[in-house]
Amino acid sequence: MLKLKFTERTDTRFGTVNWDKLGFGRYFADYMFVADYKDGKWDEGQILPYGTMEIEPAMMTLHYGQTIFEGLKAYYTVDGNANCFRPDMNAKRLNVSATKLVMPQFPEEQFIQAIQEVVYYNRKFIPQKRGESLYLRPVMFGSSNLLGVAPSVEYKLIIFASPVASYYEEGLNPIKIGVSDNHVRAVRGGLGSAKTAANYAASLYGGMEAKKKGYSQVLWLDGVNLSNVDEVGAMNIMFVVNNEIYTPTLDTGTILAGVTRNSVLKIAEHLGIKSHEKVLSLNEILTALNEGEMTEAFGTGTAATISPVGALSYKDKEYILNEGKIGEISQKMYDTLLGIQYGEIEDPFGWTIKVNL
């Protein structure tokens, strides 16, 4: 299984980790994968000790933002090995983002091999508690040093790892989200469907304002008319109305094609729960809430997993969902998804790639 050049470190970062309070993305495991793109091609990459890197102030990414990333997880399974969850989807999405930002494609097979090796070399950093996992963060950026506005000619792809617990402090307890009616995350024709830093930068100001009002996240509306629901930035959004799932369509190009979003829609189909991907106006959502037809809402994301929404606020009016408790469909999705990820239930979709530890 191991094919890549490996440089062993003499120390370990293991002792820096507070295993009782992992939080999200605070600790970084011993090894990372690094590949370089030069003269029109990627090298085969290698496994190096995780650590600092030298950059020049003129490095183009710092100025013009040509950077894309991914997020996926490896789970410690009941048989003492690790499951990587749908890394092929991340490989594909990385290349979709790369196309949008005029960056080179990274071969899918090489990506999946690198993921497996990063998991293997960092095996002692995979948490064993349910609900915790080894989060993998691939990041690609333009590394040329030039000041003209143009695509970089050299790139780096790094994949590093972080042992994580839940993304939100609330864990599986419902979060409160606020609809932003003055900031936008993405616009039609822009970068909304790419997993690129710009979208997260655009979300910070609105996110800060929402936090001041007591909301953990912002529900973003479309950037043109502020009338249709897009996504939550750190996750996609799903609403349950009359026991059917409704989620914004990807056709607008302003929403990230979430791997968990796709997985939930497939699980729903498998369980016989009807789902709809369509343009959803905020009006429809608020009407369904007012009329008591909407019984649940939840976010889906790799970091966020399934995150029930207990309250939604718009223009200072707060709508409570399912008395602020997790709903039946959200719980079912959480149980099925995590069951597959931790190898507790059969994976009828062939989603997991096993790494023997």
Residues binding ligand COI (CB under 6 A): 71, 234, 301-304
With tokens 């929403």, the residue in question is 255
CB of 71 to ligand COI, least distance (A): 2
Cβ partners under 8 Å of residue 92, min gap 6: 108
Would you give the DSSP letter of residue 71? -
Tokens of 330: 């959200």
Tokens of 310: 């207990």
CB of 310 to ligand COI, least distance (A): 20
Nearer to ligand COI, 174 or 299 (CB): 299
Cβ partners under 8 Å of residue 329, min gap 6: 240, 243, 245, 273, 296, 298
CB of 92 to ligand COI, least distance (A): 15
CA dist., res. 336 & res. 127, Å (int): 20
Single-letter amino acid, residue 5: K
Please state, in angstroms and as integers, the Cα–Cα distance from residue 45 to each residue in 38, 106, 118, following that order.
12, 11, 12
Nearer to ligand COI, 114 or 304 (CB): 304
Burial 250-285 (b: 16+ CB within 10 A, else e): bebbbbbebbbbbbbbebbeeeebebeeeebebebb
CB of 287 to ligand COI, least distance (A): 30
CB of 132 to ligand COI, least distance (A): 15
CB of 202 to ligand COI, least distance (A): 13
Determine the residue with CB nearest ligand COI. 71
Single-letter amino acid, residue 350: G
Nearer to ligand COI, 25 or 253 (CB): 25
Calculate ∠ Cα 111-186-203, nearest 5°: 85
Please state, in angstroms and as integers, the Cα–Cα distance from residue 131 to each residue in 20, 126, 286, following that order.
13, 12, 32
Helix (H, G, I), strand (E, B) or coil at 230: coil
CA dist., res. 199 & res. 186, Å (int): 7
Nearer to ligand COI, 179 or 197 (CB): 197
Nearer to ligand COI, 71 or 104 (CB): 71
CB of 258 to ligand COI, least distance (A): 8
Residues in the chain, overall count: 357
CB of 259 to ligand COI, least distance (A): 8
Nearer to ligand COI, 71 or 87 (CB): 71
Nearer to ligand COI, 134 or 241 (CB): 134
In the beta sheet, which residues pair with residue 237? Answer: 299
Nearer to ligand COI, 97 or 116 (CB): 97
